[in-house]
Structure 1
Amino acid sequence: MPKTVEYIFDFAAPNGYLAWYPLKDIVARAGAQLTVTPVFLGGMHKLTGNAPPMIRDAGVKGKVPYAALEFQRFLDRHGMDRFRMHPALPFNSIMLQRVLVAAQDEAERQAIVEALLPAVWERNIDCADADAVACELAQAGLDAQRLLAATQDAEVKAQLVANTEHAVERGAFGIPTFFVDGEMWFGKERLGQLEGFLEGGKP
């Protein structure tokens, strides 16, 4: 039976963009399955006491510049030359995350990720602009009207909260986080370890 990689995901994390594309390749090579669990990163930070790295590490001499170097190395290694840091970072991703929750099934959820990741991290759309988001969804052949209307549903709102709380209960504190067979990996730097596990190695 193929393993399932659960990706704890929020559009607001630039590392979420970086991890998505190599992760898909790893899952395909391993013959595994991928599921996306939308969470609200802002809520996760509040629950865990975490903060965006550029804020959390601002007082540590040398750490933020080194993190930027490693970030660029990852972009270069994977040929991600279209990535552009969002000028509004850190921005509120609540509407985008509710759109993900409102997906009818896993296939639609991943299609939404595919449609909106480039919009956010390559073209830097305003993530609070419903019209801009609707345009991106519609261009990808998705039902923008249904998905955006659902962001106001009480059940959708509650599910996003529940997803976030459950992820934190299991140990998640940031994005990207991955779970396989109850084991957790955090960060794009752990993708190699995750692949090894999928191939039969130890966590």
Structure 2
Amino acid sequence: MSGLSFWFDVHSPWAYLAAGRVGGIARKHGLELNWRPLHLPRLLEAIGGLRPLETSPQRVAWFRQDIQDWAELQGMPLRQHPAYPLRNARALRACLLAADEGRAESFVCRVLKGYWAEEADITDLDQLAQWGAEAGLKPDTVRAAAVSEQLKARLQANTQEAIERGVFGVPTVDTGQKLYFGNDRLDLLDIHLSQRQPSSPING
């Protein structure tokens, strides 16, 4: 196993919680972690997926309780942005840049914290540039990436690839053989990686 793919969208509070844990799991097992942003609304539209906040009032109430319980368990502040959902495309394109530059973990986690703990505007180019600078990226490069048509096309390609891999929501970790969906499945991922058999040496 050469690495893990972490499929995410900044729209998801579960991605916010998982992003702070998944890097540590990958490092624990000596695996490369590929941060793969996708456009969740388009993925759900394409596959007819479940939108948790558009289900029954009872399920929505449970959903809100559950996410707050998990945030408290992990010691992470969580507040839904008063204008949620904000447009996600600019932030996701900037996440692609951060992945290209080897700064994905710090940048993605900062964007998610801003959106889900600080009620910050993820559509604001100056805000994205500031977070980029904190993650070691050039602010002007982040601004350009956030409106790049080339990165828009790559984001679309990512979303299609995720669909073809069987991804139906985020966060999802893809080991290459198995998919682990949800922040609450990261423990199962950790167990699976601990139990995997090392590759047999090649003879000859």
* Alignment TM-score, normalising by the size of structure 2: 0.86
Matched with 1:6 is 5
**Contact 2:126–2:143 (CA<8 Å) still a contact in 1?**
no
CA distance in 2 between counterparts of 1:27 and 1:104 reads 16
Corresponding residue SS for 2:98: coil
1:151 maps to 2:146: yes
Any stretches of 5+ residues in structure 2 without a counterpart?
198-204
- Equivalent of 2:56 in 55, 58, 72: 58
What is the aligned residue count? 197
> CA separation of 1:58/1:182 partners in 2, compared to 1, >3 Å: closer, same or farther?
same
How much identity, in percent, do the aligned residues show?
30
Aligned equivalent of 2:97: 102
Gaps in structure 1 of 5+ consecutive residues: none
Matches within 5 A, 1:189-200: 189-200=184-195
What is the DSSP-based 3-state SS (H/G/I as helix, E as strand, rest coil) of the residue aligned with 1:116?
Answer: helix
Instruction: Give the deviation of 1:119 after TM superposition.
Output: 1.4
Q: Which residue of 1 aligns with 2:19?
A: 20
Give the CA deviation at 1:23. Answer: 1.9
Alignment partner of 2:84 out of 86, 89, 93: 89
CA distance in 1, matches of 2:73, 2:93: 32
CA distance in 2, matches of 1:132, 1:103: 15
Partner Cα distance (2:51, 2:130) in 1: 29
The separation in 2 between residues aligned to 1:97 and 1:163, in whole angstroms, is: 11
* Structure 1 SS opposite 2:102: helix
Look up the equivalent residue of 1:6 and give its one-letter code: S
Q: Distance in 2 between matches of 1:114 and 1:63?
A: 28
Alpha-carbon separation, structure 2, partners of 1:50 and 1:183: 19
Could you tell me the TM-score, scaled by structure 1's length? 0.87
Q: Secondary structure at the match of 2:75?
A: coil
Task: Look up the equivalent residue of 1:73 and give its one-letter code.
Answer: D
AA aligned opposite 1:152: V
- 1:38-187 aligned at under 5 Å gives the runs 38-55=37-54, 57-58=55-56, 62-80=58-76, 82-103=77-98, 105=100, 107-187=102-182
